[in-house]
């Protein structure tokens, strides 16, 4: 029996989503192969959810009823800091514990929407993207420079997920309030030009060293964009596989494979797009995508032919294979 630490919780507003994701992993991993422990990471307190036992941070172990429990792998189900931004990975690597997500550098890079776009800009039009402006807290905002992108605009915290602090701005008067709202969640804010089109998402992972791209999902939100409520409260329709031509599906999947490889990703990563005309435009990468019952990647895994338990097991075994 292999001991697995399911990392969940976290220190950001995404904590509630992490706890749901962690529970899904705990419920679905095959119990005849894995002995699972949900480890709630919150500030300096790291505890096993069921027993309340604290983790020994010297070796990332648990001692329950006199038994010292060490882990063969850490399953990444923690959205936001301190895992999705890469802070924990170095600690796990120093202890020799495999983990089912991108390494610290790639996680930190992709958590930063602006830096990800800059990294991909070197490939020119291979990966089309929206035009954008980066703002820093405390600097004077040049509103005319931003409005030169054209209205409407999207305003987003630069290193935050789950659509917290995201606004669609349709007027000059609404711009500064939207920027102030985004700054509530981050020290940097990205303002992007609006891309008129349909929204799609596509996951990719490695299995035995080969990149496997999952079916494409179209997201049809009840609101004007994919808000928190659309993502987690049922205010959207998700169609998997997406009802698009084989050629468009192949284009999206080719982009995902290119992004996964170019960004040197590990584990399962979800890439979000807007389809403008016949061309997919890259929005952002999610290196620890939601795996709660309402999330997109589980839908894609099942559509591919993997029950969730098998899908989660593949992520664990790939992480352990790479670590050997």
The residues annotated with a catalytic role in the active site are 14, 162, 232, 270, 272, 284, 286, 290
Task: Enumerate the H helices of the chain as residue ranges.
Answer: 15-28, 89-94, 104-111, 113-121, 143-147, 172-183, 228-232, 246-262, 296-304, 308-323
- Listed residue (202, 302, 195) closest to 252, CA to CA: 202
Q: Which residues of 271-295 are buried (b: 16+ CB within 10 A; e: fewer)?
A: bbbbbeeeebbbbbbbbbbbbbebb
Beta sheet of 269-276, edge-to-edge order: 236-239, 210-221, 198-207, 269-276, 279-286
Token reading at 71: 């882990």
User: What are the φ/ψ torsions at residue 132 (nearest 5 degrees)?
Assistant: -150, 165
- Rounded to whole angstroms, the maximal C-alpha distance in the chain is 65
> 3-class SS at 306?
coil
As a whole number of angstroms, the distance between CA 152 and CA 147 comes to: 9
- Listed residue (222, 205, 223) closest to 214, CA to CA: 205
> 3-class SS at 89?
helix
């Amino acid at each position: 029996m292999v001991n697995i630490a399911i990392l969940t919780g976290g220190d950001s507003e995404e904590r509630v989503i992490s706890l749901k994701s962690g529970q899904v992993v705990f419920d679905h991993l095959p119990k005849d192969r894995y002995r699972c422990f949900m480890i709630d990471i919150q500030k300096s307190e790291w505890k096993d959810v069921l027993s309340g036992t604290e983790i020994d941070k010297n070796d990332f172990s648990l001692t329950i009823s006199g038994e010292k429990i060490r882990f063969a792998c850490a399953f990444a189900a923690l959205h936001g800091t301190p895992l999705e931004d890469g802070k924990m990975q170095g600690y796990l690597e120093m202890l020799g514990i495999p983990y089912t997500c991108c390494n610290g550098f790639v996680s930190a890079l992709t958590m930063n929407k602006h830096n990800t776009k800059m990294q991909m800009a070197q490939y020119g039009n291979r990966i089309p993207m929206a035009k954008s402006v980066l703002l820093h807290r405390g600097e004077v905002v040049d509103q005319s420079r931003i409005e030169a992108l054209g209205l409407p605009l999207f305003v987003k915290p630069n290193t935050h997920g789950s659509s917290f602090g995201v606004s669609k701005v349709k007027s000059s008067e609404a711009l500064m309030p939207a920027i102030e709202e985004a700054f509530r969640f981050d020290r940097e804010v990205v303002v992007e030009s609006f891309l008129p089109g349909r929204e799609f998402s596509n996951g990719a992972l490695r299995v035995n060293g080969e990149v496997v791209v999952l079916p494409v999902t179209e997201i049809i939100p009840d609101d004007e964009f994919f808000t928190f409520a659309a993502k987690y409260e049922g205010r959207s329709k998700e169609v998997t596989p997406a009802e698009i031509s084989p050629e468009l599906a192949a284009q999206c999947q080719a982009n995902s494979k290119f992004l996964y490889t170019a960004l040197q990703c590990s584990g399962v990563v979800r890439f979000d797009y807007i389809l403008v005309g016949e061309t997919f435009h890259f929005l952002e990468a999610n290196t620890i995508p939601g795996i709660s019952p309402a999330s997109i990647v589980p839908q894609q895994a099942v559509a591919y032919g993997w029950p969730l338990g098998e899908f989660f097991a593949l992520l664990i075994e790939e992480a352990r294979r790479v670590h050997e």
